Structure 1
Amino acid sequence: MLHRAIFLLSLTLTHISLSVTASELTNNTVNFVNSLDPQQASLVLFKFKDEERFNWKFVPTARKGLPLKELNAQQKQLAIIVLKSSLSEQGFNKATSIIDLEEVLKVLNNEAYRDTELYYLSIFGQPQNDNIWAWRFEGHHLSLNFTVEQGKLAAVTPNFWGANPANVPSGDKQGLRVLKLEEDLARELINNLSAEQQKQAIISNKAYRDILTRNQQQVSPLANKGILFSALNSEQKAQLLGIISVYLNNMPKDLAQSRYQQIQSHSINNLQFAWAGSIKVNQKHYYRIQGDSFLIEYDNVQNNGNHIHTVWRDFKGDFGRDLLQEHHTKHKH
């Protein structure tokens, strides 16, 4: 298990797809906007300060923005290029696999309303002119929020990823587990703890019904519970960092490296790992990893423990809030 965790850590530093150049994401977004007709542009473009920027959801519901469904083939291709520019290769593949699960649900549950093209783009600000702007890609089980500063992707939270089914039970995709590592590595860690360590790490014998932060616009640190990084042995520490690396690896290389270095250099011993529910396979469970500046939440409770929700939140940096504050400090308006 230690070898596996160390291998995952190496992914963060060497095997994420090549980082986006300073202008590539902005140029790709401008190309997409320029392809739209006036009606489409009116749906996708918002002011940067619009409150809609903070109105994120991960359930299947009506949304503001422009759905893939209302784009022609060329526009869809340009939209996908923007998404691909905002994620690592792993993150992009994971996003498209989550979207594909809508077709699985349509067949499994006879739910005709499921639609792989009901994923919406929203752009906040003017990519071609503004020093800071943002965009969102969102639909069922995906809410990816990106903030761009000086033409470079600078913040990617909140980012939410879900999988239903977590393990596809039948059909062409039987056995597919889109969020496999998020589940398996955490269970390996909790089972690798001693009985005494598990008493610290397991904060409830019953899993919570969902991630505790839901889709709150801003979050604060959760209860100070769980086992501290400093209380783990070297193998367990590598396992915990391996779990974090799975989430980091959804981000472009430069941003992932920066976040990883921040975690290592800022109070790493204060990281906490907390578990709720069963530690057995195919049972309902929840875990979280909390640091001084961020929170990862995961739950697998719905559908008898076959429905995953995961999210990364930054206490000060969600929606690029810290970047905006720093920008206003440097540039008095």
Structure 2
Amino acid sequence: MNKALLTGGVSAVAVMGGWAATSAGAEETGSADATASASPSGPPPGGGFGRTIAYDDFVGVTADGTVLGDLYAVHSTGVSTVPVVRAAQAFVASLTDEQKAATLFDVDSDQWLDWTNVDSNDRDGVALRDLTEKQYALGTRLLRAALSARGLRQANDIRKLNQFLGEYEGDTSKALNEDAYWFTVMGTPSATGAWGFQFEGHHLVINYFVLGDQVVMTPTFMGSEPTKVTYEGKDYHLFREETLAGLELLRSLDDAQLARALSANEKSGTDLIAGAGQDNAVIPYAGVKGSSLNRRQRRLLLDLAGVYVGYQDEGHARVRLREIERHLDDTYFHWIGEHGDDSAFYYRVHSPVVLIEYDAESPLGYHESDGGTSASPSASEPASASASASAGPGGPGGPQGTPTQQHIHTIIRTPNGNDYGVDLLKLHRETDH
């Protein structure tokens, strides 16, 4: 099924109504002369909609439609994948035959690309809510092995606030609860072969590819609405590090650098480009280039990338960050919006080997004016289930209001063909025969 085109409640209705492509120049510029393009024949790009393509048609995100070669190689990282392999093997072994039939796919299956971050209840695989207590524990163990402590905490907090949103809206029976997240497994978990898994639900999608001791954990989509709330006696503040790291880098720029980084002073609508169904998006480089930054600014740029790379286990995060650092001169930092502590803004980090987007969006299901910020969700009136997103970059916010840090979408990708480990698998098959 093409889940990227499914409607899925408030998030879906909003994104369907808006044009999300961000204006971008081809070199160091803050102008809006060129526009990023999405996958062919799909709806406008954004956080949750596009046209799912077949695995064989995958090209990857590029800057101009041309894939840069010789960026990736099959090699030993020296970081063991044994913990995640064993966790995956145990999880798969615990499934019933019926569950396996719904959950297991070939390593080069179209299933990799068929994901969505919207609150759809129509997904493949096996959901957490349908697992036995033992299976649930083994699924949790798989996530723990794949993610860092911070990555696991963030994933769990996203799920918890999805439960909050369901209670706030008055319906936790479908996609808005903490266990409406699905596992699929591609290939056979092995310490030497190629395999991977996908963990998918509202505001949280993790694609995790393994080849020997190499790992590719992209695309990974993380978001939340709300991001800051007190729920069941606990204070949540999601995406704090992502917000602060972006602001610190932007505020370090001098006037000339800021002019290149900034394309619009006001953020409104939806600007995230490389969301679900945008696997072949063409996104021109825009913003200030890494080669024009001083030493401190370059460190801040690398630290910002490290916040997102740091979702995965620490050893493979270090490997990934070294890869990004090798291309730091050719890494661009692009910004839309103001830069106050509480401002809504969009930023993008983009190089031949990494694409990161952060987008503060209009409120859809949650509204602070309802009085639910520090109370139980039942104290608030259910939010409207229909909304419209902006008409595009710089366009008006929908009737639900202007963008806010209470609704954030983020994504990290590996451009030029290695999302889902596609390029690594291709190289592996070429050298293995």
Give the 4+ runs in structure 1 shifted more than 6 A. none
SS in 2 for 1:96: helix
Between stretches 28-37 and 138-147, larger displacement belongs to 28-37
| Letter paired with 1:301 | E
Deviations 1:269-294 (A, max 9, x none): 11111001222233321000011221
Structure having the larger proportion of residues in helix: 1
Partner of 2:118: 59
SS of 1:162's partner is strand
What is the total number of aligned residue pairs between the two structures?
311
Q: 1:222 to 1:206 in 2, by over 3 A?
A: farther
Q: Which residue of 2 aligns with 1:311?
A: 411
Match of 1:126 in 2: 188
Cα distance in 2 for partners of 1:188, 1:128 equals 41
Distance 1:221 1:236, change over 3 A: farther
CA distance 1:91–1:153, change in 2 (3 Å): farther
Q: Which residue of 1 aligns with 2:89?
A: 30
Aligned residue among 160, 164, 167 for 1:104: 164
- Matched letter for residue 308 of structure 1: I
1:73 aligns with 2:133: yes
Is the contact between residue 106 and residue 112 of structure 1 (CA under 8 Å) also seen in structure 2? Answer: yes
CA separation in 1, counterparts of 2:429 and 2:302? 34
Residue 290 of structure 2 is aligned to residue 190 of structure 1: no
Return the offset for 1:141.
0.8
**Contact 1:210/1:309 (<8 A) preserved:** no
SS at match of 2:277: coil
* 1:184-234 CA-partner distances (Å, limit 9, x unpaired): 121122223223221111012343514111213524562221011222233
Aligned mates of 2:324, 2:346 — CA distance in 1: 22
Structure 2 residue corresponding to 1:138, chosen from 192, 200, 212: 200
Structure 2 residue aligned with 1:7: none
Name the CA distance, whole Å, in 1 between partners of 2:280 and 2:112: 16
| 1:176 alignment partner in structure 2 | 236
Separation (CA, whole Å) in 2 of partners of 1:129 and 1:301: 41
Bigger mean CA offset, 219-228 vs 317-326 = 219-228
Does the 8 Å contact 1:221/1:290 carry over to 2?
A: no
Q: Is contact 1:145-1:157 (8 Å) kept? A: yes
SS in structure 2 at match of 1:176: strand
**Matched residue type, 1:293:** V
Q: Deviations over 1:270-323 (max 9, x none)?
A: 111100122223332100001122110110022131211111111121010111
Query: Would the alpha carbon gap of residues 197 and 83 (structure 1) be closer, same or farther in structure 2, given more than 3 Å must change?
Result: same
1:23-82 superposed Cα distances (whole Å, 9 cap, x missing partner)? 222222111111111111111111223211211211111211100011010100001111
User: Structure 2 matches for 1:171-320, cutoff 5 A?
Assistant: 171-172=231-232, 176-207=236-267, 209-216=270-277, 218-219=279-280, 222-266=283-327, 268-303=328-363, 304-305=403-404, 306-315=406-415, 316-320=417-421
| Aligned-partner Cα distance in 1 for 2:147–2:409 | 19
User: Secondary structure at 1:160's aligned position in 2?
Assistant: strand
> Aligned-pair distance for 1:97?
0.9
Identity of aligned residues (%): 28
Q: Cα–Cα, structure 1 residues 214 and 125, in superposed 2: closer, same or farther, change >3 Å?
A: same
Which AA in structure 2 matches 1:197? Answer: Q
Give distance in 2, aligned partners of 1:254 and 1:283. Answer: 34
Gaps of 5+ in 1: 1-18
Of stretches 175-184 and 103-112 in structure 1, the one that deviates more from structure 2 is 103-112
Residue 86 of structure 1 contacts residue 153 of structure 1 at CA under 8 Å; is this kept in 2?
no
Partner residue of 2:178 out of 95, 106, 116: 116
Moved more, 102-111 or 61-70: 102-111
Q: Secondary structure at the match of 2:236?
A: coil
**Equivalence for 1:40:** 99
Give 1:104 deviation, angstroms.
1.9
Query: Partner of 1:16 in structure 2?
Result: none
Query: 8 Å contact 1:142–1:160 — kept in the other structure?
Result: yes
> SS in structure 2 opposite 1:302?
coil
In structure 2, the CA distance between the partners of 1:111 and 1:173, relative to structure 1 (3 Å rule), is: farther
1:325 correspondence with 2:426: yes
SS of the counterpart of 1:310?
A: strand
Structure 2 Cα separation of the partners of residues 84 and 214 of structure 1: 25
Residue equivalent to 1:155: 216
Aligned residues of 2:105 and 2:184 also touching (Cα < 8 A): yes
Q: Is the 8 A contact 1:20 1:252 kept in 2?
A: no
Q: Please, what is the CA RMSD of the aligned residues?
A: 2.1
Structure showing greater relative contact order (alpha-carbon pairs closer than 8 Å, 6 or more residues apart): 2
